[in-house]
């Protein structure tokens, strides 16, 4: 918000990045004006164009940069082999810690895909697919060895990622639970989910669709 006049370069770039992350995470890309962003950094709106060619490029750089970080960090953290349970545990611990450390970046990577122009979107979606694949491989492996009992590994992949990514929507550093506690709790839930159990079918009388709306069908 404050600024020593006439200054900087890399410092300004980092300040823009941080302010942009916060503004987009809070209000959304479309709702963030460049005047607002510039004011947050402490420069004039036109000066932003020394750091990107247009607003869309700024968003894409943020998202793409974060996806690259995420992939590199995941690859460094994952166990190359071992039991499926051990690999899934490591995946979950990584995911929780990463979401806790960088909730804004993670959130934007989900919520602002809609704001990317087609070419940019395609690039990000491809990276996202790779990421899902890494979890899917662990689940497939566990089902093959009998460690896991999943009815549908693709659905389990999406379910686990949604569950873990949800963290960045409610996590606050000052909250009740430490990162380690969150890792234990979520690892427990993810492993239980993956291990499965007796099929739940017929645990309750079949009534799969009726009474869905209050009044209508």
Partner DNA sequence: GTCTATAATACGATAGAC
Partner DNA sequence: GTCTATCGTATTATAGAC
Span near DNA by CB under 7 A; candidates 4-12, 66-74, 83-91, 172-180: 4-12
* Cα(138)–Cα(194) distance, integer angstroms: 10
45 interacts with DNA by CB under 7 A = yes
* Cα(166)–Cα(185) distance, integer angstroms: 14
Report the first-to-last Cα separation within the chain, whole angstroms: 54
* Cα(88)–Cα(82) distance, integer angstroms: 10
Contact 104, 173 (CB under 8 A): no
Q: Which of 170, 172, 173, 174 binds its own copies (CB under 8 A)?
A: 170
* Phi, psi for residue 161 in degrees, rounded to 5: -65, -40
* Cα(146)–Cα(84) distance, integer angstroms: 10
Q: Which does 9 bind (CB under 5 to 8 A by kind): DNA, its own copies, none?
A: DNA
Q: Which does 65 bind (CB under 5 to 8 A by kind): its own copies, DNA, none?
A: none
Q: Which does 137 bind (CB under 5 to 8 A by kind): DNA, its own copies, none?
A: none
- Which residues of this protein are in contact with its own copies, per CB under 8 A? 26-28, 30-31, 69, 72-73, 75-77, 79, 82, 85-86, 89-90, 93-94, 97-98, 101, 111, 114-115, 150-152, 155-156, 158-163, 165-166, 169-170, 177, 179-180, 182-189, 191-193, 195-197, 199-201, 203-204, 207-209, 211-214
């Amino acid at each position: 918000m404050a600024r020593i006049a006439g200054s900087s370069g890399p410092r300004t770039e980092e300040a823009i990045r941080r302010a942009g992350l916060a503004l987009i995470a809070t209000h959304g890309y479309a709702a963030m004006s460049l005047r607002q962003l510039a004011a947050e950094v402490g420069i004039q709106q036109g000066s932003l164009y020394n750091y990107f060619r247009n607003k869309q490029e700024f968003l894409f750089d943020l998202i793409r940069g974060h996806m690259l970080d995420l992939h590199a960090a995941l690859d460094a953290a994952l166990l190359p082999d071992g039991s499926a349970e051990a690999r899934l545990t490591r995946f979950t611990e990584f995911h929780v810690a990463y979401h806790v450390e960088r909730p804004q970046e993670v959130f934007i990577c989900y919520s602002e895909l809609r704001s990317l122009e087609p070419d940019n979107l395609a690039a990000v979606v491809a990276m996202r697919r790779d990421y899902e694949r890494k979890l899917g491989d662990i689940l497939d492996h566990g089902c093959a060895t009998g460690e896991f009992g999943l009815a549908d590994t693709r659905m389990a992949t999406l379910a686990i990622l949604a569950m873990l990514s949800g963290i960045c929507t409610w996590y606050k550093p000052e909250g009740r639970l430490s990162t380690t506690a969150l890792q234990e709790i979520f690892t427990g839930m993810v492993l239980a989910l993956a291990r499965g159990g007796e099929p739940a079918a017929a645990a309750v009388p079949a009534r799969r669709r009726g009474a869905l709306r209050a009044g209508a069908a």
